[in-house]
Structure 1
């Protein structure tokens, strides 16, 4: 029994955590097995359904660079979240030129498809910041408000000061989720595993696989990797779900067309092994000319394919 002396907001977090770590997590797993009986569940999803995950009201990872390359929404296309006091976390609003961006010039954020070959050396950062957030069941997620109109109530429930950087981060996630998709790129923000499954099936059918970037060791922080043999080409037009900044797991899922995707085996000098998902965009003519990829690679829209790796807090769904 929860003590009546605890603040209401803390009680809410405790109830939520208990709900997720028991029957709710089991119901999500049952739904996965019923809808996708031949699809193995990625380790990321398994972890987010168990008690090893947590309600992150501190919003760890503020200021992390997010890469969701779309042509039609500058704020989602490439952004640094504009909160976080450290110098490297200072954000940008929309697009700035290469000299103004605080990017690590040693990291291969974007590269050419021709660079995907065994023996190629690349400096990569494969860790995302949202791998430990609780992935809610639909029953629990639907009981929690998730709209900009209800933001004051949401902040109160999670005991977040409405003037804090955490509140700004939560607001930005909700607003990004509320932006409408279009006929070219369907999208949905999934606040539950069931919602993510339903969206992926609606776009790709049931004969699908879920793939994530995975690596040995504790993290995939900045390392120099060598591409190993065994690069595997995946199916086209995947559904890609990116982890967003929120107290529990929220995924920005969208269909990405005109792409070629690969699972790439990697080995680092320290022995770390990884299998990373790489996506190459083959038609960039509609991308903003100010897109950071063009600035980093010194090319223009509509040219050669541009590629990037997905961090380990991103779930990609491919047709078998």
Structure 2
């Protein structure tokens, strides 16, 4: 009986989608409008590429259906919403993108460094994870995303194909680990399923009259490259939130408020394009006293908690939010 209901549900859904599909993307328009109302400056290309392609009518169709018991990875939903439901996705390297864990596995030694590295004329090797790009997929509209709880059983119900692929399942399991991990002392973190949620989280936690989003210009292809440090400019703010992309079939970010943190705008010479400079963001955690002694950064830098700052590069897929008056 269940299989008959499931078949009928999928056939009905396909008819509804075809009947209601529109060429314009109302969801993207709403996401862009929310950005312009709450964030100063233009939307980074990495976020612009993740705006939802769903029309208003498609959103209205999928919103009530996504919570149905027999809704399961309908190919039309995945394609129409630009989701990644059946691809092989490699989990992100351990200890690189999320920093409130105590990883002991092998990590690129260039992943973490001390502040003294940021000297003009200094040559450094960029970490390999700058080339680690998750597949592009779109944010869901809030109406749909709120019906998808971030827990393994519900995600497997809605996206069973993704869970049937071992590497993709491992990527989602790692993301769930990030979402459920206890926060470091003084930090507040959350996994945010929509662009609107990410903006709202940043605004609520940073305060101030204005909100801005920063990211590195272009980091793809820079992994393992030896570059020369150019100008280094510190940002004069202590209101900072970092957001790192994690993997679920829809675009999701893990964001956390950072105490005792500094961010820097760093020009680096691109060895593949002589005479040109890339702008990178660097974030330095100045107080590591709340970190676990097992954190891989301490092993790489020969430090212990609270005995020195830990810095790392921000990729073009990550975001740094700052609040100011």
| TM-score normalised according to structure 1 size | 0.76
Asked whether the 8 Å contact 2:120–2:229 carries over to 1, the reply is: yes
Aligned with 1:284 (options 284, 288, 302): 288
Q: Return closer, same or farther for 1:20/1:165 CA change in 2, 3 Å cut-off.
A: farther
Aligned with 2:300 (options 281, 284, 296): 296
Q: Return closer, same or farther for 1:27/1:119 CA change in 2, 3 Å cut-off.
A: same
Q: Which residue of 2 aligns with 1:88?
A: none
SS at match of 1:252: strand
Asked whether the 8 Å contact 2:231–2:267 carries over to 1, the reply is: yes
Q: Which residue of 2 aligns with 1:23?
A: 26
Per-residue deviation at 1:161? 4.2
Q: Which residue of 2 aligns with 1:269?
A: 271
Asked whether the 8 Å contact 2:241–2:257 carries over to 1, the reply is: yes
Per-residue deviation at 1:31? 1.0
Gaps of 5+ in 1: 79-94
Gaps of 5+ in 2: 1-6, 54-80
Q: Return closer, same or farther for 1:33/1:6 CA change in 2, 3 Å cut-off.
A: farther
Per-residue deviation at 1:234? 4.6
**Separation in structure 2 between the aligned mates of residue 131 and residue 274 of structure 1, nearest angstrom:** 23
Per-residue deviation at 1:172? 3.2
Per-residue deviation at 1:242? 0.6
Per-residue deviation at 1:316? 0.8
Per-residue deviation at 1:264? 1.0
Q: Which residue of 1 aligns with 2:56?
A: none
Per-residue deviation at 1:203? 0.9
**Separation in structure 2 between the aligned mates of residue 261 and residue 49 of structure 1, nearest angstrom:** 27
Q: Return closer, same or farther for 1:196/1:210 CA change in 2, 3 Å cut-off.
A: same
Is residue 56 from structure 1 mapped to residue 109 from structure 2 by the alignment?
Answer: no
Q: Return closer, same or farther for 1:257/1:192 CA change in 2, 3 Å cut-off.
A: same
Q: Return closer, same or farther for 1:59/1:233 CA change in 2, 3 Å cut-off.
A: farther
Larger Rg: 2
SS at match of 2:248: coil
**Separation in structure 1 between the aligned mates of residue 254 and residue 201 of structure 2, nearest angstrom:** 11
Asked whether the 8 Å contact 2:227–2:271 carries over to 1, the reply is: yes
Aligned with 1:235 (options 234, 237, 240): 237
**Separation in structure 2 between the aligned mates of residue 188 and residue 300 of structure 1, nearest angstrom:** 26
Is residue 207 from structure 1 mapped to residue 210 from structure 2 by the alignment?
Answer: yes
After superposition, give the CA deviation of every residue in 1:196-240 in whole Å (9 maximum; x if it has no partner): 010000011241210111227x64333111111253425224111
Aligned with 1:67 (options 96, 99, 115): 96
**Separation in structure 2 between the aligned mates of residue 172 and residue 183 of structure 1, nearest angstrom:** 21
Over the residues paired in the alignment, what is the CA RMSD in angstroms? 3.3
Q: Which residue of 2 aligns with 1:255?
A: 257
**Separation in structure 2 between the aligned mates of residue 144 and residue 64 of structure 1, nearest angstrom:** 26
**Separation in structure 1 between the aligned mates of residue 167 and residue 29 of structure 2, nearest angstrom:** 34
Q: Which residue of 1 aligns with 2:150?
A: 146
Per-residue deviation at 1:69? 5.2
Q: Return closer, same or farther for 1:63/1:28 CA change in 2, 3 Å cut-off.
A: closer
Q: Which residue of 1 aligns with 2:38?
A: 35
Per-residue deviation at 1:262? 0.8
Task: Provide runs of 4+ in structure 1 moved above 6 Å.
Answer: 18-21
Q: Return closer, same or farther for 1:186/1:59 CA change in 2, 3 Å cut-off.
A: farther
After superposition, give the CA deviation of every residue in 1:223-265 in whole Å (9 maximum; x if it has no partner): 1111112534252241111100221211001001111111211
Asked whether the 8 Å contact 2:92–2:171 carries over to 1, the reply is: no
Asked whether the 8 Å contact 1:234–1:263 carries over to 2, the reply is: no
